[in-house]
Amino acid sequence: MDGSNSSYIQDKCGIFAIADDKDVYYKTINGLKFLQHRGQESAGISYTKGNIMHTYKSLGLVETVFNDFSDEFNIGIGHVRYSTRKKTTNSIKHMETQPISGNSRFGKFSLAHNGNIPLINKIKEKYDINYDTESDTIILVKIIEKLSHKYVTWLDVLIDLIHGIEGVYCLVILLGNEIYAIRDAHGVRPLCLGKRENGGYCIASESRALQEYHLIRDVKPGEILCIREDLTMESLYQRKLIKNSFCSFEYIYFMKPDSITHGNTKGGIFKNKLVENIRYQLGYELGKQEAHVDRTAIVLSVPNTPIPAAKGFARAVDLEYYDYIEKRKDAGRTFILPTDKERIDAVEKKYIFHPELKNHNVYIIDDSIVRGITFKSIIKKLKNIGVRKIHIRITSPPVISECYYGIDIPTKRELIAHEKSVLDIRKELSVTTLKYMDIKSIKKVFNENICTSCFDGKYNQDLLSW
C-alpha cells in the first residue's frame, strides 16, 4: 500500500497530563498505572519544576520504573508505551521511550504520543526532515523544532502541525508551565478531559485514569486544548471537523471496561456509556443471531475483556454463564507482546481452568481472534480437561487486514483469518462450531462513524493518501 511505511513503529500507548496543586506526582504515577494495559514496554514522565523541565523514563512497568523515584511538581505529562517493533535492542527501545524532549525557540518541550502516522516518509519530505529513526514520535518532535523557527507564536506551530500531518495521533506537549493536548481531526484514538472540584485539570487516554477528576468531555477531534499550572483551561483552536472514524477495536478490546466513552456522534448511543455496557450489547446481539442453541452447553469467556459480552450472550440465549476460566492476577496482555515466542510462553501461564469443566459442552465468547495463539492453547487445555463440545463465538468480524493506525494487527500472513473461510478457521482450531459477528451487525450496534479497516480492508484514504 502506497505510503503505509510499515517499517515505522506504531505506538499503541497511554498518555496522561495533569496540572494541579496537590499530590500531582502521586496522581501522575497512579494515572499511568490505570493506563498500564495500553503499554507494558516502558514508562516515563516529564514535568516542570522551578522553570526547569525534568524527564524520568525507563523500560519496564510503571511500578518498576518509578520504584526508586519520586518528586513534587504541579504540572507534567506521562506515557506508557507498547510498540509494534518486533525485535530491537534495549538501547534503541530506551531512546524511543516517551516522553521525548525537543528544543524550540519558545523553550524546551516534551511530547507524548498515542497513535501512528502512516505517511511518515512523505511527511519527512514535506517538512524537509533528515533524521534517521524508525519512530514517528521522534519525527513529530523534529517537525515541531523546525516549525518553531517559522512562526511568531507557539499556537501557530501547533496549528500547522494539526493541518499538515494526516495521521492518527493524540498528543500531550509540555512547554514551560503549560500543557497542550491535541487530537487528530479523525478522532481515531480516545482522549478525554477531567476537572477536580475546586482544583486542576487532567487529560488521559481513558477516563478510568482521571481518578478523582470529574470527566468533562472528550478532547474533540481536531482540537488544540491547553491546561496551565495556574489551574486554568482553554480550548485554543478547533480544526474544521471532517468525518470522524473512531477505532472499533478500542471499544471491542483495547479500552478497559470501566472507562466511559462519549462517542463521536452528538447524541450517539454511546454517549456517557461504560465500555463494559457496549461489550455487553455486542454479546447480546451476537446471541440473538444464534439460530440453533446448544441447550446442553454453558457460557464461558476468555477473561477479562469479553466477560461483559459473554454475559450478554448468555442472557440472549438463556444459558448460564460461569467464570470457569480465570486469568492469573499477575498476567499481562499477550496481544501486546512483541514476539510469537513471548506470546506463546505467556499464554501457557496466563489462565487457570476450573475442574468442573470436565464433560461439559461450552460456548466460549471472545472479542477477536487475531493470530489464534491464545485460542489454540485454551482449546488444547479444555480438551485435556475433558470438555466435549467447544462452540466459539466472536463479537467482531474476522480480522483480515493490517492496521495502519496504531493497533498491532500483524501482517496478513500472520492473521489466522487471512485467505481462510470461517470453516477453514474452525478446522484449524479444531472446535465444534465457530461464528463471528458480521460487519453489518457490528455497524448496527455501534451506530457511529467507526473504523473497521482491520475487518474489511477498507482504509480511510484521507489518512493514507494526499
Q: Which residues are known to be catalytic? A: 13
Both ends of the chain: CA-CA distance in Å? 13
Q: Which residue has the cell 454511546?
A: 270
- Rounded Cα distance between 288 and 189, Å, is 30
Judge whether 219 and 172 are in contact, CB under 8 Å.
Answer: no
Q: Residue 226: in which H helix or E strand, if any?
A: strand 223-228
Q: Which three cell numbers stand for residue 319?
A: 444459558
Cα within 13 Å of Cα(402), Cβ side: 16
Judge whether 35 and 204 are in contact, CB under 8 Å.
Answer: yes
Q: Which residues contact 23 (CB under 8 A, 6 or more apart)?
A: none
DSSP 135: B
Our CA dihedral for 388, 314, 309, 353, rounded to 10 degrees, sits at -40
CB atoms near residue 95 (< 10 Å): 13
The dihedral through the CA atoms of 204, 207, 211, 212 has a sign that is positive
Q: Which three cell numbers stand for residue 7?
A: 517499517
CB atoms near residue 79 (< 10 Å): 32
* Bridge partners, 202 (sequence order): 18, 194
CA dist list (Å): 150 to 162, 174, 318, 438: 15, 20, 65, 49
For residue 33, count CB atoms less than 10 angstroms from its CB and return exposed for 0-12, middle for 13-18, buried for 19 or more.
Answer: middle
The candidate with the shortest Cα–Cα distance to 222, out of 273, 158, 140, is 158
The dihedral through the CA atoms of 441, 304, 193, 136 has a sign that is negative
Query: Looking at the chain, how many residues does it have?
Result: 466
Instruction: Tell me phi and psi for residue 91, to 5 degrees.
Output: -65, -40
